């Protein structure tokens, strides 16, 4: 594959200086035992953010990365679910919507010691925990002994409470991490957008970011409705799988779930345990992913809406994430690389920065609106990891160069215009800083 080098300035950038700036961001966003994604827009601990943040923190202070993850595991529910937000009690309820009084986790029997949301996010934590375990040296096994049961609990919850036909379902767009992806437009059409909800609830996100870069009020009303319904059903997963209005199988979530089982196998080995159940689980999920979500015609993994039982045709970056799996059948990695470098994503091409979150050729592509086109550093890094898993080192390197160039050009923004490199969303965003540290440290 022919890969163009990133812009020539990349070579001249002072990586040490950027790393120092990144350290300042993650330190400023640290609140004693965890890192907020952003002081104003996201003033609590977010689940998958913490995993990406820990990958960066391991280079600064591995013990801090360990605390970040263990702090999140302290918010785990008795059923194993790792909630998507662990609320900081020092922050007022109205600083973020929906806050603790909306989710009402403390009303539940056996609730965790702190307030949390009731939904989950992609299980990327074992990847970070394995890296932190290795980085900690002699104390790595003590950390792993504490982290491993929480991670096993997280994946058991997904397997036992959240699967349909062997793959994990998400019951809210927020559970995918790619909240506003155009892939959710069709399933969300079935969810009424009741704008009168804003008589009782106030969006806080648009106080801190431009509304043109955030979800519309209609979509936000749907998010509120879905979360309220799950909450009012007592976060009952039998109910939500059979009666929820949004029950979707996401290739990104499932790809990361399988990948996390491979990381758990390595942690199990380190702890002197048998890794086989993790290896066979990774294989089982990979096979189901290929059988149910691979589209040879589209050259990408697609999401599936379980309610009508149909594949959703959108090409999104989530469909490229299963590339992280080394056990994909022959032909699929090559086809994914062709899609990644082809007209939908143009990765590695001159004038394109990182991996756009959505298909350039779709009329709904939007270079500024949250998850509907912009490049994000976490998904670009995941695709780079996938490329490395399949020997595509030159393109992986190019994507990491792009990550550095984007930050050098626009700062630690939440997301970036894939064509111009301009920064959007919030500033001083933690995973942008942490992943910059990670790719710089890993060379
Ligand atoms: C965004 O999601 C939150 C809801 O969870 C929001 O928009 O309020 C997403 O980008 C998500 O992937 C991310 O984890 C979160 C915090 O950075 O922000």
Which residue bears the tokens 């001249």? Answer: 12
Helix (H, G, I), strand (E, B) or coil at 84: coil
Three-class secondary structure of residue 439 per DSSP = helix
227: number of Cβ within 10 Å: 19
244 lines ligand 1 (CB under 6 A): no
What confidence score (pLDDT) does residue 208 get?
A: 84
> What's the residue count for the chain?
443
Interval between CA 20 and ligand 1 midpoint (Å): 25
Residue 215 Cα: closest atom of ligand 1 = 7
Region 201-215: mean pLDDT is 87
Q: Is pLDDT at 149 greater than 50 in this prediction?
A: yes
Report the candidate in 129, 86, 35 with the shortest Cα–Cα distance to residue 432.
35
The whole-chain average pLDDT of the chain stands at 95
| Cα 438 to the center of its chain, rounded Å | 16
| Ligand 1 within 6 A of CB of 46 | yes
Q: Which atom of ligand 1 is nearest to the CA of 430?
A: 17
| pLDDT score, position 11 | 42
Tell whether the model's pLDDT for residue 222 goes beyond 70. Answer: yes
How many Å lie between the centroid of ligand 1 and the Cα of residue 333?
A: 29
Which ligand 1 atom minimizes the distance to the CA of 38?
Answer: 17
Q: What is the DSSP letter of 304?
A: E
Among 38, 40, 46, name the best residue to mutate to test ligand 1's pocket (greatest count of ligand atoms within 8 A of Cβ): 46
- Read off φ and ψ for residue 287, nearest 5 degrees: -65, -45
Return the structure tokens found at 125.
Answer: 């934590």
pLDDT at 6 exceeding the cut of 50: no
Q: Is the distance from CB of 326 to CB of 319 less than 8 angstroms?
A: no
pLDDT over 90 for what percent of the chain?
Answer: 92
pLDDT of residue 3 exceeding 60, the answer is no
Q: What is the DSSP letter of 234?
A: T
Catalytic residue IDs:
179, 414
200: nearest Cα among 87, 97, 88: 97
Confidence of residue 13 (pLDDT cuts 50, 70, 90): low
Average pLDDT over residues 164-176: 98
Share of the chain above pLDDT 70, in %: 97
Q: Which of 148, 167, 197 is nearest to 258 (CA)?
A: 167
Which residue has a Cα nearest atom 5 of ligand 1? Answer: 174
Cβ atoms within 10 A of the Cβ of 314, count? Answer: 22
Neighbours of 272 (CB within 10 A): 7
- Ligand 1 neighbour 205 (Cβ under 6 A): yes
Mean pLDDT calculated for residue range 201-210: 87
Measured CA distances, 440 to 14, 75, 353 (Å): 10, 31, 17
Question: pLDDT tens digits, residue range 266-322?
Answer: 999 999 999 999 999 999 999 999 999 999 999 999 999 999 999 999 999 999 999
pLDDT at 9: 44
- Give φ, ψ of 17 to 5 degrees: -65, -45
Q: What's the N-to-C CA distance of the chain in angstroms? A: 22
**H or E stretch including 195?**
none
Q: Indicate if ligand 1 lies below 6 Å from the C-beta of 80.
A: no
Helix, strand, coil in percent for the chain, rounding step 5: 55, 5, 40
pLDDT digits (tens, 9 = 90+) for 26-84: 999 999 999 999 999 999 999 999 999 999 999 999 999 999 999 999 999 999 999 99
- For residue 211, pLDDT beyond 70: yes
Q: What sign for the dihedral angle of Cα 421, 204, 216, 303?
A: positive
In 299-411, at which residue ranges do the beta strands (DSSP E only) sit?
300-301, 304-305, 310-311
Give pLDDT, residue 209.
82
pLDDT band at 17 (very low <50, low <70, confident <90, very high): very high
| The two structure tokens encoding residue 252 | 């990104």
Q: Give the pLDDT score at 143.
A: 98
Contact 33, 44 (CB under 8 A): no
Largest CA distance in the chain: 58
Question: What value does the mean pLDDT take over residues 320-335?
Answer: 98
Helix (H, G, I), strand (E, B) or coil at 433: helix
């Amino acid at each position: 594959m022919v890969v163009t080098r990133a812009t020539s300035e990349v070579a001249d950038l002072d990586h040490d200086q950027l790393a120092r700036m990144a350290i300042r961001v993650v330190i400023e966003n640290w609140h004693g035992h965890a890192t907020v994604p952003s002081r104003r827009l996201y003033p609590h601990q977010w689940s998958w953010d913490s995993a990406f943040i820990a990958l960066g923190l391991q280079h600064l202070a591995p013990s801090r990365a360990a605390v970040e993850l263990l702090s999140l595991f302290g918010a785990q529910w008795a059923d194993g679910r790792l909630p998507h937000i662990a609320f900081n009690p020092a922050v007022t309820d109205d600083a973020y919507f929906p806050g603790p009084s909306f989710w009402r986790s403390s009303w539940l029997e056996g609730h965790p010691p702190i307030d949390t949301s009731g939904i989950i996010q992609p299980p990327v934590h074992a990847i970070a925990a394995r890296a932190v375990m290795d980085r900690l040296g002699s104390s790595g096994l003590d950390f792993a002994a504490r982290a491993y049961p929480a991670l096993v609990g997280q994946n058991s919850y997904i397997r036992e409470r959240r699967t349909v036909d062997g793959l994990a379902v998400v019951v809210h767009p927020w559970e995918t991490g790619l909240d506003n992806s155009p892939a959710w437009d069709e399933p969300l059409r079935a969810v009424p957008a009741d704008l009168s909800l804003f008589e009782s609830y106030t969006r806080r996100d648009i106080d801190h970011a431009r509304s043109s870069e955030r979800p519309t009020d209609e979509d936000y009303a749907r998010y509120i409705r879905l979360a309220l319904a799950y909450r009012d059903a007592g976060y009952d997963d039998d109910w939500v799988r059979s009666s929820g209005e949004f029950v979707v199988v996401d290739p990104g979530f499932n790809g990361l779930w399988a990948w996390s089982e491979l990381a758990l196998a390595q942690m199990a080995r380190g702890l002197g345990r048998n890794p086989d159940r993790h290896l066979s689980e990774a294989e089982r999920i990979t096979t189901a992913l290929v059988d149910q979500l691979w589209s040879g015609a589209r050259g990408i993994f697609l999401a599936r809406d379980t309610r009508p039982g149909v594949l959703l045709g959108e090409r999104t970056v989530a469909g490229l994430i299963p590339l992280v799996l080394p056990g994909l059948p022959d032909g699929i990695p090559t086809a994914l690389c062709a899609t990644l470098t082809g007209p939908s994503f143009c990765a590695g091409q001159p004038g394109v920065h990182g991996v756009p979150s959505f298909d350039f050729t779709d009329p709904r592509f939007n270079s500024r609106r949250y998850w509907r086109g912009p490049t994000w550093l976490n998904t670009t890094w995941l695709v780079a990891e996938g490329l490395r898993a399949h020997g595509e080192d030159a393109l992986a390197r190019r994507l990491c160069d792009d990550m550095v160039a984007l930050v050098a050009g626009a700062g630690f923004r939440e997301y970036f215009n894939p064509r111009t490199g301009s920064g959007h969303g919030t500033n001083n965003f933690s995973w942008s800083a942490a992943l910059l540290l990670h790719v710089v440290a890993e060379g």
